Structure 1
């Protein structure tokens, strides 16, 4: 039995505050409220759909493969990093999230595991969450990122190494969704996004920078993995990681997506619990970030994602005794593979990369449409781009 390291997640969530650091992110609060109600109705249907197939043979076999894969991945990561220490494992109780105990962090339920706890108990701890695409991609989505698992670069990617596994499940069949192309992007440790240079977010490398952005395709079990860092915070938003999922999109020889192909099946944001965030931000270079911290309880979108049918908080485990050894995190996302949110108001493209580098999308009114000036041969060579950022104002 593999001896694992430190711990699994505690839940955290949710209340509302304006997203000041996203100057382009403006939504009518009344419209948002209506869409949240509609989302809740959709979630109830999706939850019943998942309930009808979660005990099927293929779903049980997938669950077994998940446990084996996660256990194997953690052991491989530990071996690669030379981690030999063992420590206590913790896991959260999903019922605590469903009862909104996570809102009051003093009531968060923590279950103690011994170092001998079987991997089948640890790595089966997922919640088959449903993150509907009514959650904004924000104004910092960049079209033209390249296929790469490791999205860290030499500059402006320092932080707590985080190995993230994202698994997509079709809510109608409980089967994995292979071949999905998953975009990931997030702020660096000082709270700055690459690829954007405008009020609220000035990357030192400007529109040409590409750090902490990339695309991966899901495998036969619906799994995409990324090597990244724990995201930094910025004023007005809780700490989060962005995901956007394309189905049926064409991958070009230069490892970018062809404009106008495929559908947008999911737009989501992953949130991270306050216990982990606080621990991370005590470390360098996060502790140099001078921007105001917004908790999950103060964030607009976390409360709009967290619900009894939703769970936007990844499970995680320390690879060693402390954060220096890195984290392994995982989450299941239930999607309706037949839905397309390309024309949804929350899908907007702020910038794009082509052969000449990064550019602002001049037609910002065309939400969900291809960026102005794009073509079907847009290479985005991250090695030639200036990957850099400075702290936000």
Structure 2
């Protein structure tokens, strides 16, 4: 595990308000780090005990084929004929957990798919921390869609992201998991919120770079989004949050009513890839000070020998502007429920009338609505397909 050094403690204390509205206690976060490390190690051992089963190997074979075909189809659809770039990452300046080479482009051959096993197999021991703050920007009731890009505020490097959820107890895929994805745009602004320091045009009614889907029989969801930009106090990251046993409603939305929160996580990206992306427009118009992975308080909580918060990825062509295809397998306890965790909170919700704030902020504050519970004065039933039933949401 990454050692919790004095530098790390200082970093936690220094980034006590990374998201606008967040409040954190460094020593409490240290205790959580130890607890989450123990949980991840248990999950890793569980996965190791069943990873060689016939069903697990069959799932791996299907995943390799699916990812290879996805890249092939994206390239054909976009008319990309140049071979994918084959350069490797520079690893010397990264922490040990970052030193894993997640760039699989160096062994990728589009024409023959040589080394297909090496390229498109997932990190089957990958376990994200069982609970990492979703920040004060989680919105329920988002559109059920795979392409979360919209006409405005979504310029940037295209990112095709595949996420696969595996039960750490059985190594079996978990179907019907409702997976929310959201990240800021190229210049560091989230949709769906109107928080001081991070105002979105359209405020709570905006929905760009947000969406939700149900995992298929192989536990997989795929999103088309953009590589996220950065904002003050946080390294570049992508948010994921999952509810088990969710249902598609007659109106086409996904209900998370009474659905357990099975995972709260953030994906991080290598510094060299981030630098390459941010040299392009419109990322290069962002004048906000950058926070690296090593300086980010939540990457400290995410990274461990037992769980890896960086997806594997390949270039789609010979230039970063052609986009990226990335994938990650997330090992979770299929019976876990983090609904009552203080870091799970609903900042806003969407219904037929638009977006609404709950007043929720990490660590306290807001308008007295706790962890994103139904705000007073909300019409009866308007959240029945959006908010969990728990009093602390």
Q: TM-score range by the shorter chain?
A: 0.7 to 0.9
Contact 2:108–2:116 at 8 Å: present in 1 too?
A: no
Deviations, residues 259-280 of structure 1 (Å, cap 9, x unaligned) = 6321100000000000110000
In 1, the alpha carbon distance for the partners of 2:108 and 2:196 equals 49
> Gaps spanning 5+ residues in structure 2: where?
1-6, 360-366, 386-393
Contact 2:183–2:190 at 8 Å: present in 1 too?
A: yes
SS at match of 1:358: strand
Aligned match of 2:70: 73
Pair 1:139 & 2:139 matched? no
In 1, the alpha carbon distance for the partners of 2:162 and 2:328 equals 7
Aligned match of 2:169: 172
Q: CA deviation at 1:88?
A: 4.2
Pair 1:367 & 2:362 matched? no
Aligned match of 1:308: 305
Pair 1:101 & 2:81 matched? no
TM (normalized to structure 2)?
Answer: 0.85
Contact 2:189–2:200 at 8 Å: present in 1 too?
A: yes
Aligned-CA RMSD value: 2.6
> Gaps spanning 5+ residues in structure 1: where?
1-13, 381-393
State the 4+ residue runs in structure 1 displaced beyond 4 angstroms.
90-93, 107-112, 374-380
Q: CA deviation at 1:370?
A: 4.7
Contact 1:245–1:266 at 8 Å: present in 2 too?
A: yes
Q: Report the CA distance shift for 1:109/1:230 in structure 2 as closer, same or farther (over 3 A).
A: closer
Q: CA deviation at 1:40?
A: 1.2
Q: CA deviation at 1:369?
A: 3.8
In 1, the alpha carbon distance for the partners of 2:119 and 2:242 equals 27
Q: Report the CA distance shift for 1:376/1:109 in structure 2 as closer, same or farther (over 3 A).
A: closer
The alignment covers a number of residue pairs equal to: 362
In 1, the alpha carbon distance for the partners of 2:119 and 2:215 equals 23
Contact 2:89–2:272 at 8 Å: present in 1 too?
A: no
SS at match of 1:311: coil
Aligned match of 2:288: 291
Q: CA deviation at 1:132?
A: 2.9
| 2:221 aligns with one of 210, 220, 224 | 224
Aligned match of 1:199: 196
SS at match of 2:208: coil
Which aligned pairs between 1:375-390 and structure 2 lie closer than 5 A?
376=381
Contact 2:132–2:302 at 8 Å: present in 1 too?
A: yes
Aligned match of 2:59: 62
TM (normalized to structure 1)?
Answer: 0.85
In 2, the alpha carbon distance for the partners of 1:312 and 1:195 equals 25
Q: Report the CA distance shift for 1:342/1:174 in structure 2 as closer, same or farther (over 3 A).
A: same
Aligned match of 2:107: 113
Aligned match of 2:275: 278
Q: CA deviation at 1:89?
A: 3.2
Contact 2:16–2:26 at 8 Å: present in 1 too?
A: no
SS at match of 2:40: helix
